[in-house]
Amino acid sequence: MTRMTRFCLTGALVAAGLLASDPARAQTSTGSGLFDSDDILEFRLATDLKTLMDDRDSLKAGYHPGTLGYLDAAGQRVSIDVQLRTRGHWRRQRKNCDFAPLKIDFPKTKDQPAGSPFAGEGDLKLITHCRTKDAAFEQYVLREYMVYRLYNMIAPTSFRARLARTTYVDLAGKQDSITRFAFLLEDDKRLAERTNSALLETKGARFDDLDPEAAATMSAFEYLIGGTDWSLVALHNIVLTQNKETGAVIPVPYDFDWSGIVFTKYSFPDYRLPIKTVRERIYRGICRTYEQWQPVLQRFQEQKGSFYAAYDSLPLLDPKYSKEVRDYLDGFYKTIERPASVKVDLIGPCKEA
């Protein structure tokens, strides 16, 4: 990191508030309610699908009109006019996914029907199934959704997700309707609002800029899930928030489809890493002593039962994967339960991302 980059980041942190070491644990209750339930949403998106899916240029892709329909509590069909746009990086490319991830832009609350579950939302990411003719890709949606749920359990400042059974209707009549699992992801600004925080967008952060406990929690979690596709310095698959009261800077990870716990067909580790598959764990997080690690690892121990139970609560997952993911979690817990393994696997290779 250059001195100028380092200076710009520090200036951004100071401008948003004083740096602090206390973790931002409290959350406000300003959420709209969309993410307050684990019930599976059901809705339909109607648009000119071909035109939407053909518009994938990362620099030029625009919004396309559509409607989002759902049944309200009385069983009446409700329709909301929305704008849809393709999004993402790897999954946006047609050679990788015939069905790209989407961004849904909602109208202002006053322009939505009374009682709309989407009231208060601006735009939301919709993580879709990627490949329509391969059933494994719908399972990948469920697997990645579960990672967000795990992180919610261990880190108060984390993105919330809502699983949805989504039907895509082609208004042009050129293709059949498609119904697949997807999930909605909380918007960055909503996350900041809910946690009484400001978003920090300047790249160049280092671990010593962050709240140490929050940084350690994220680092241990990325190790747990076999996550290597992230960078703090580049803000790659990381969002930084700063609590307005405490000044604590909290890293919030997202986009987990290249992790070992999700284990997609298309994922592979960066060639610079000394691992051959994403299933292999390698620690890339904050440096801490054995004593400093103990309170963080203790919290992971306390959540062990909840982590396993979370997978049991989603019977939609393939039974074979459900067994594999328990074995994968076992590997993490065997490491943190043994002092020698903690020193070798978490402390020995530690370095800044």
Which residues touch 285 (CB under 8 Å, ≥6 apart)?
A: 207, 215, 216, 218, 219, 220, 222, 223, 350, 353
Cβ neighbours, 10 Å, residue 170 = 18
Cβ neighbours, 10 Å, residue 271 = 5
The pLDDT value recorded for residue 22 is 33
In the chain, alpha helices (H): 3-16, 49-54, 135-154, 188-194, 212-225, 290-302, 304-312, 319-336, 339-341
DSSP string, 118-156: TTT--EEEEE--B-TT-HHHHHHHHHHHHHHHHHHHH-S
Among 87, 106, 105, 99, smallest CA distance to 50 is for: 99
Domain spans, the chain: 3-24+196-347, 41-189
List per-residue pLDDT tens for the chain, 353 residues long. Answer: 333 333 344 444 444 433 333 332 223 333 348 999 999 999 999 999 999 999 999 888 899 999 999 999 899 999 999 999 999 999 999 999 999 999 999 999 999 998 899 999 989 999 999 999 999 999 999 999 999 999 999 999 999 999 999 999 999 998 899 999 999 999 999 999 999 999 998 899 999 999 999 999 999 999 999 999 999 999 999 999 999 999 999 999 999 999 999 999 999 999 999 999 999 999 999 999 999 999 999 999 999 999 999 999 999 999 999 999 999 999 999 999 999 999 999 999 875 44
Among 180, 189, 242, smallest CA distance to 12 is for: 242
The pLDDT value recorded for residue 14 is 40
CATH number of 3-24+196-347: 1.10.1070
Cβ neighbours, 10 Å, residue 115 = 11
Q: Tell me the C-alpha distance between 284 and 296, whole Å.
A: 16
Cβ neighbours, 10 Å, residue 304 = 15
Ramachandran class of 270: left when φ > 0, alpha when ψ lies in -120 to 50, beta otherwise: beta
Do 346 and 220 contact (CB within 8 A), yes or no? yes
